[in-house]
Structure 1
Amino acid sequence: MSTQTILYIILAGVIALLLALFQYKYKTKGAPKKSALFTLLRFISIFGVLLLLINPKFNQVTVYNQKPNLVLAVDNSNSIVHLNQENNVSKILEDLKNNQLLNNKFTLDVFSFGNTLHTLDSLSFKEKQTNLDKVFRELTQIYKNTVSPTIVISDGNQTYGNDYEYSAKKYNQPIYPIVVGDTTQYSDLKLKQLNVNKYAFLKNKFPVEAILVYNGEENINTKFVVTSGKNTIFSNNVSFNKTDNSKILNFTLPANNVGVKSYKATLIPTESEKNKTNNSKNFAVEVVDEKTKVAIVSSNLHPDLGMLKKSIEANEQRKVVYLKPQETISQLNDLQLVIIYNPNNSFKSLFEALKLNNKNKFVIAGPKTDFNFLNTVSDYYQHDIISQTEDYQPKLNANYNSFIVDDLDFESFPPLISNFGEPSFSVPFESILYKKIKSINTEEPLLATFEINKRREAILFGENLWKWRSQSFINNKSFNQFDNFIGKLVQYLASNKRKNRLDIDYESFYQGSSNIIISAQFFNKNYEFDANENLNIIVTDKINKTSKTIPFILKNNNYQVDLSDLAASDYTFTVKATSENISKSGNFKILEYNIEQQFLNANISKLKTIANQSNGTSYYFNDYKSIINDLLNDERYKPIQKSSKNIVPLIDWKYLLVLIALSLAIEWFMRKYNGLI
């Protein structure tokens, strides 16, 4: 409390006392005892009111002990069941959670993990993938700058993500793995990896790469075969020994018929082999008879050009060629889409040819664009001609309806650079992304599409798209999400098909270990997205002839349904709207493959490594209870005494208000009782 405030309080006390004495000593002649009591009550009332006006502030200090955290991360993947460890894992978890000594010393936080990290509700051991790398990265964000020793109950086998040794090292917390699963090494043949394109073209041959691995001491002779149904379409004899323990086979298979073709690759196991699940893999290829050809036309070099080619050709159905403006005109009949990058006056003939042939195009306009020229050749939009540039960050339009756009966390993307100014459109258009200038959201389009005269066009006002793809990789550890976004945009622009009131987004086949999400959009008669419709999907197993009906749920500007629980088989489906007689059908295949069943042993070496590098200790099931004493006796994990200081204004002290009200009430009743009122 400042000196000035103390002086104000003293002054308030003097004033209150003088006023009280003036009221009951100077002006009133009565019994001395009663006058003294009335003076005291009046003093309390006046002094209390003056204190509220001064409103002094007091420091309130609270001292408390903060216990260190103890993090329990439990493997909830299907590999625990495959290794027959579900009962052991449940027992370890219950013993640690219910230990009173641990609860007294630590604050226990319990998580389960598979592909992602979750606060533990219950263990099901049904997670289809394990991503320990993501677990440690997320725990790093949660327990940054804290003391949080971490117990990991797992077999240590990871099926997805980067090597978790690096992310565990950056976690900066002691890690105590409790290893579950068989640690004995057995002789094992394994089809470790199978690389094959998703699409193949009719009458061509598509390449396949198989990586075969052997763990053992003896010499082994076996055979690698690929079958389709009951027919063997490829075979190769292979041999392994202790030193020559891996093989890479490269071969091609024919694509003779259009459609999804299923295959099974098998490395014939030995009779003594314990785990035969990891000897075979199912795979599929969709054979198509056409390819989308896209031209990128530019008169100067830029990193965006290579990025666009990479993203578009991530789908093998598409081919990208680089052309100069004059070269493009002679090849227009072979192109489904033309991407024009930073157009200038040299593109004049190309724009005329595109208009004459009613071709779809995608214009990317950055600082090197000649907007005088672009405004001249464009009949549907104009842009302010200002030489000053500006950085624009993207903001997703959640109501975009032309096709399903997933939120890639666009607002985390670096800004694009473009000319300052506002575009104006003379035709109806839809913005996929709005411009965001620093923290200010605008309604100006950054990326927009429109349809006119059975032609589709898109315009992007900005360059440096390559930074977006890089940021997407940083966010997701994969280019797939961004490439899918570019792929959907290209698919939309490369087609002139009339918009349907019910659109379905799905794949022809899915791996058994992946999430199976089908998306849909429903539009009213004005082709506006209808968020009030009830959509249901009827899924029928072609083999078992069983059907089930599942409702869609609304998510942003589309409906979604999760079919990840379906077993491997061939399926047909029909999506129906309940309010109108509108439906759409299709089919897909789920390949039989459980990546969590590819492991025979716990990965003891990896778990020991992360324990040693983090100054922790690894344990096995038969000695896991010793971790309790080790944690209790570890001097690194002591409670920390902390204090919090709050500045509390007197006006928040309710007792003072009660005291003022009480003194006024007593004074009034006493004056009334003595006939002074």
Structure 2
Amino acid sequence: MGSQTLIYIILSGIIALFVALFLYKYKVKQMSRKQMLLTSLRFISVFSLLLLLVNPKFESESVYLEKPNLVVAVDNSNSIAYLKQDTNALSILDDIKSNPEINEKFNVQIYSFGNQVKLSDSIRFNEQQTNLDKVFQEFNQIYKQTISPTVLITDGNQTLGSDYVFSANKYKQPVYSVILGDSTIYSDLKVQQLNVNKYAYLKNKFPVEVILVYHGEDSVNSVFKVQSGSSALYSEKVSFSKTNNSQILNFYLPANQVGVQTYKAILVPLESEKNQINNVKEFAVEVIDQKTNVAIVSDILHPDLGALKKSIEANEQRQATILKPNEFINKTNDFQLVMLYQPNNNFNDVFEGLKKTNSNYFLISGTKTNWRYLNSLDLNITNEITNQTEDFQAVLNSNFSEFIIEDLDFESFPPLKSSFGEASFKIPFQTILFKKVGNYTTESSLLSTLEHNGRREAVLFGEDLWKWRAQTYLNDKSFNSFDNFIGKLVQYLASTERKTRLSLDYSSFYEGNSSVLIKAQFFNKNYEFDAKESLSITVMDKVLEKPKSFPFILKNNYYQVDLSSLPASEYQFTVSAKNENISKSGSFKILDYNIEQQFLNADVNKLQQIANSNNGTSYFASNSGLLLSNLLEDERYKPIQKSHKNVVPLIDWKYLLALIIFCLSAEWFIRKYNGLI
């Protein structure tokens, strides 16, 4: 409280005393007890009101001890159970949780990790992936400003993310590695990696690349083969030694039958080999007998052309060709979809050909588009002509229902550049993306689809799509989400199928460790998306013939169900609507592959390395008892005395208001009772 505030309080007391004495002492020779009581009540009420006007602030300071954190991260992946270390992990965790000295010295915080990092007391060792890189990234954010020694209970085998040694080096806390697993080196042959395209074409051969790895001291011989059912399609003898411990094989397999074809790559195990699961890897290829050809017609050079071609051809079922308008005229019948990039007067024959064949097309406009020419044509859209350009950002229309669109965080994408002006549609249309100028989201269309007389069209009002593809990579470290977005748009425009009230989005096969997601859209009789319908899926295992049912969950403008809990097998399914007699069926395969069962040993070297570089210590499960004593004896982990200063203004003190009300009420009552009012 400052000296100025103190002066105001003294003045308030003098004024309050003067007011009270003036009312009850003025012209009174001698004050009675009653007048003295009334004077006191008036003094208190006036003084309190003046104090509220002055509103002095009072400081209170509390001192407390803050204990350091003990962060315990337990590997919850099923590689721990596979290496038979689950009992050791739970025993070490129980020792930490039940030790009274540890709990007195530290705030113990327990996490489990697999694909994600979670606060958890329940450890089941059922995660399908391990991401140690994410553990250190998240802990670095949470415990940046604290003293938080970290105990890492794991086998050190990672299946996702960047190398965790680098992220651990950025983590500024001591790390204590408790190593789960055997450090003994056994002879082991392994199918390390297998690369194959997802699609192949009928009566062609598709390439396969396989990487084989050997861990051991002696020279060994084996045979690598590929089987389809009981038939052997490929076989080769391989040799390994301590120095020559890997081989890369490249070969071709025939695609003789349409549909999903499953193959098994086998590296024949050694007699003494302990882990034989990693000697086998199942893979699949979908054989198709046709390809979607897309023409990208442009009279100018622009980075968008290459970005569109790469996005389209990310799916092996599609091929894109960049052509000049005069080159396209003679090849009109070779393509199922035409992309018209910033058309001008040279596109006259192109538009005439599209009109005659009633072909689907995707029009992309920009700063070099001749809208005066386009407006003169009999198109389903016109655009206001101006000499100005504008940058437009994108906002997803969550009510778009022609096909399933996921939000790629479009609002974080760089703006597209286009001519300034309002577009007018002559037929009904659906907007996928709205224009956003600055912080204002408009009702104007940035990307829309149209359907009329059996023809499908799309219009994009903006160039520089290549920046969107680049931004997707910055956001996700992958082009996949943008390529899938363009792929779905191409699939919709290239298709001539009629729209159905129930549409499904799923893959023909799923890798054993990938998420098995099936998406669906349901429309009412007016073909508007119906968010009130209850969809369910019944899945039948073709081998066990046991049906299982799962409900769909509503997510924005589509429904989704996660079937990742299903074991590897071949399945048939039926998606049904509860309130209407509408259903749709399909089939898919889940390949048998568990990446967490590919490891034979703990990654001892990495766990020891991160412990040493982070001023900690590494332990094996057998000597983990030393961990607790070292933590208790370490002088770095002491409670820190901290103080908390709390500044409270008088106006927040509710009791003062109650005192004012009491004094005024008591004064009024006494005066009324004695006839002074």
What's the TM-score once normalised by structure 1's chain length? 0.95
1:139-154 matches, within 5 Å, as 139-154=139-154
In structure 2, distance between residues paired with 1:149 and 1:422: 60
**Is it true that 1:105 corresponds to 2:105 in the alignment?**
yes
Structure 1 distance, partners of 2:377, 2:3, is 75
Give the CA deviation at 1:42: 0.4
Kindly state the Cα deviation for residue 221 of structure 1 after the two structures are TM-superposed. Answer: 1.1
How far apart in 2 are the matches of 1:455 and 1:651? Answer: 71
Give the whole-Å Cα distance in 2 for the aligned partners of 1:222 and 1:147: 53
The 5 Å alignment of 1:432-443 reads 432-443=432-443
- 1:279 maps to amino acid: N
Residue aligned with 1:346, SS: helix
Match of 1:462 in 2: 462
Q: Secondary structure at the residue paired with 2:460?
A: strand
The farther-off stretch of 625-634 and 128-137 is 625-634
- Alignment of 1:96 with 2:96, yes or no, is yes
- Relative distance call for 1:218 and 1:469 in structure 2 (3 A) is same
SS at match of 2:170: helix
Paired residue secondary structure (1:186): coil
Question: Distance in 2 between the 1:158 and 1:31 partners?
Answer: 90
- Cα deviation for residue 665 of structure 1 reads 3.5
Supply the distance in 1 between the matched residues of 2:268 and 2:552 (Cα, whole angstroms).
43
For residues 299 and 644 of structure 2, what CA distance do their matches in structure 1 show?
A: 64
Give the match for residue 496 of structure 1: 496
Partner in structure 2 of residue 276 of structure 1: 276
Q: In structure 1, give the amino acid aligned to 2:129.
A: Q
CA deviation after TM superposition for structure 1 residue 428, in Å: 2.0
| Cα drift, residue 97 of structure 1 | 2.8
Q: 2:246 corresponds to which letter in structure 1?
A: S
Which residue does 2:179 correspond to in 1?
Answer: 179
Deviations 1:253-307 (A, max 9, x none): 0001101111100000011000000001011110000001112222333332222
Three-state SS of the structure 2 residue aligned to 1:254 is strand
Larger deviation, residues 474-483 vs 526-535? 474-483
Residue identity in the other structure for 1:554: L
Cα distance change of structure 1 residues 20 and 378 upon mapping to structure 2, 3 Å threshold: farther
Amino acid in structure 1 at the alignment position of 2:567: A
- Aligned residue identity for 2:498: R
Q: Contact 1:348/1:377 (CA < 8 Å) preserved in 2? A: no
Kept in 1, the 8 Å contact 2:536–2:577? The answer is yes
Question: Does the CA contact (< 8 Å) of 1:131 and 1:161 recur in 2?
Answer: yes
245 and 356 in structure 1: CA distance in 2 versus 1, 3 angstrom threshold: same
For 1:335, the equivalent position in structure 2 comes to 335
1:299 corresponds to 2:299: yes
Q: Match of 2:522? A: 522
Question: 1:229: how far off?
Answer: 0.6
**Equivalent residues in 2 for 1:374-393, closer than 5 Å:** 374-377=374-377, 379-393=379-393
640-649 vs 500-509, which deviates more? 640-649
Deviations 1:306-326 (A, max 9, x none): 222222211111111111122
- Counterpart Cα distance in 2 of 1:444 and 1:646: 52
How many Å separate the matches in 2 of 1:159 and 1:486? 29
Percent identity for Structure 1 against Structure 2: 62
Secondary structure of 1:435 counterpart: strand
After superposition, residues 257-276 of structure 1 pair within 5 angstroms as: 257-276=257-276
Partner Cα distance (2:427, 2:671) in 1: 83
Residues 1:228 and 2:224 aligned together:
no
**What is the alpha-carbon distance in structure 2 between the residues aligned to residue 539 and residue 673 of structure 1?**
86
> Per-residue CA shift, 1:108-134, capped at 9, x if unaligned?
332211112222152221111112223
In the TM superposition, residue 430 of structure 1 has moved relative to its aligned partner by 1.8
Distance, in Å, in 2 between the alignment partners of 1:421 and 1:158 is: 53
Mapped to 1, the partners of 2:51 and 2:647 lie a distance apart of 17
- Using the TM superposition, give the Cα deviation of residue 669 of structure 1 relative to its aligned residue in structure 2, in angstroms: 4.4
Q: Counterpart of 2:309 in structure 1: which amino acid?
A: K
> Which amino acid letter does the alignment assign opposite residue 264 of structure 1?
K
Describe the superposition over 1:583-634 as per-residue Cα deviations: whole angstroms up to 9, x where unpaired.
Answer: 1000111111111100000111122222233333222112223223333444
Q: CA shift at 1:642, angstroms? A: 4.3
Q: Deviations over 1:229-268 (max 9, x none)?
A: 1111110111111111111110000001101111100000
Residue correspondences, number:
677
1:113-262 counterparts in 2 under 5 A?
A: 113-262=113-262
Counterpart-to-counterpart distance in 2, 1:163 and 1:258? 40
Mapping for residues 412-491 of structure 1, pairs under 5 Å: 412-491=412-491
Take 1:115 and 1:628, find their aligned partners in 2: how far apart are those partners? 28
Counterpart Cα distance in 1 of 2:487 and 2:438: 28
Moved more, 197-206 or 121-130: 121-130
Q: Residues 251 and 629 from structure 1, CA distance in 2 versus in 1: closer, same or farther, beyond 3 angstroms?
A: same
Match of 1:353 in 2: 353
CA distance in 2, matches of 1:377, 1:218: 77
Q: Which moved more, 1:172-181 or 1:194-203?
A: 172-181
CA displacement 1:138-186 (0-9 Å, x = unmatched): 3333334443332221111111222222222233333222111111110
Q: Which moved more, 1:407-416 or 1:209-218?
A: 407-416
Q: Secondary structure at the match of 2:25?
A: helix
In structure 2, the CA distance between the partners of 1:632 and 1:482, relative to structure 1 (3 Å rule), is: farther
Residues 54-69 of structure 1 aligned to structure 2 (within 5 Å): 54-59=54-59, 61-69=61-69
* 1:415-451 alpha-carbon deviations (Å, 9 max, x no partner): 3333334333232222222223333333322222221
Question: Is the alpha carbon distance of 1:267 and 1:425 closer, same or farther for their aligned partners in structure 2, counting shifts above 3 Å?
Answer: same
Q: Name the residue aligned to 2:34.
A: 34
The code of the aligned residue for 1:196 comes to V
Cα distance in 1 between the residues matched to 2:137 and 2:551: 34
Q: How does 1:600-611 map to 2 (within 5 A)?
A: 600-611=600-611
Q: In structure 1, what is the Cα distance between the partners aligned to 2:387 and 2:106?
A: 62
What corresponds to 1:653 in structure 2?
653
* Counterpart-to-counterpart distance in 2, 1:327 and 1:482: 29
Per the TM alignment, residue 456 of structure 1 is displaced from its structure 2 partner at its CA by 1.5
Residue 30 of structure 1 deviates from its aligned partner by: 5.7
Aligned partners of 1:543 and 1:307: how far apart in 2? 44
Give distance in 2, aligned partners of 1:505 and 1:125: 31
Q: CA deviation at 1:378?
A: 6.5
Distance 2:371 2:43 in 1: 80
Task: Indicate conservation of the 8 Å contact 1:529/1:557, yes or no.
Answer: yes
Written as runs of structure 1 = structure 2, the 5 A alignment for 1:659-670 is 659-670=659-670
1:326 maps to: 326
CA distance in 1, matches of 2:629, 2:302: 61
Rounded to whole Å, the distance in 2 between the matches of 1:286 and 1:6 is 86
1:24–1:39 Cα contact (<8 Å) kept = yes
- Matched position secondary structure for 1:171: coil
Query: What is the CA–CA distance in structure 2 between the aligned matches of 1:316 and 1:334, rounded to whole Å?
Result: 17
- Residue 366 of structure 2 is matched in structure 1 by 366
After superposition, the Cα gap between the structure-2 partners of 1:35 and 1:238, relative to the gap in structure 1 and judged at 3 Å, is same
Which residue matches 1:534?
A: 534
Contact preservation (8 Å) 2:25, 2:31: no
Confirm or deny: 8 A CA contact 1:371 1:383 kept in the other structure.
yes
TM-score, with structure 2 as normaliser: 0.95
Offset at 1:453?
Answer: 2.0
Structure 1 residue 25 and structure 2 residue 42: aligned?
Answer: no
Q: Is it true that 1:630 corresponds to 2:626 in the alignment?
A: no
Equivalent-residue separation in structure 2 for 1:532 and 1:263 (angstroms): 42
Please tell me the residue identity of whatever aligns with 1:299.
D
Alignment partners' CA distance in 2, 1:95 and 1:415: 56
Take 2:474 and 2:49, find their aligned partners in 1: how far apart are those partners?
A: 60
Residue 393 of structure 2 contacts residue 413 of structure 2 at CA under 8 Å; is this kept in 1?
Answer: yes
What is residue 556 of structure 2 aligned with on the other side?
A: 556
Amino acid corresponding to residue 128 of structure 1 in structure 2: Q
Question: Within 2, Cα distance between the matches of 1:342 and 1:62?
Answer: 69
- Is the CA contact (8 Å cut-off) linking 1:292 and 1:318 kept in structure 2? yes
RMSD, aligned CA: 2.2
Residues 356 and 481 (structure 1), Cα distance of their counterparts in 2 relative to 1, 3 Å cut: same
CA 1:124–1:410 in structure 2 vs 1: closer, same or farther (change >3 Å)? farther
CA contact (8 A) 1:42 1:667 kept: yes
**How far does residue 228 in structure 1 lie from its aligned partner after superposition?**
0.6
Helix, strand or coil at the partner of 2:428: coil
Which segments of 5 or more consecutive residues in structure 1 lack a partner in the other structure? none
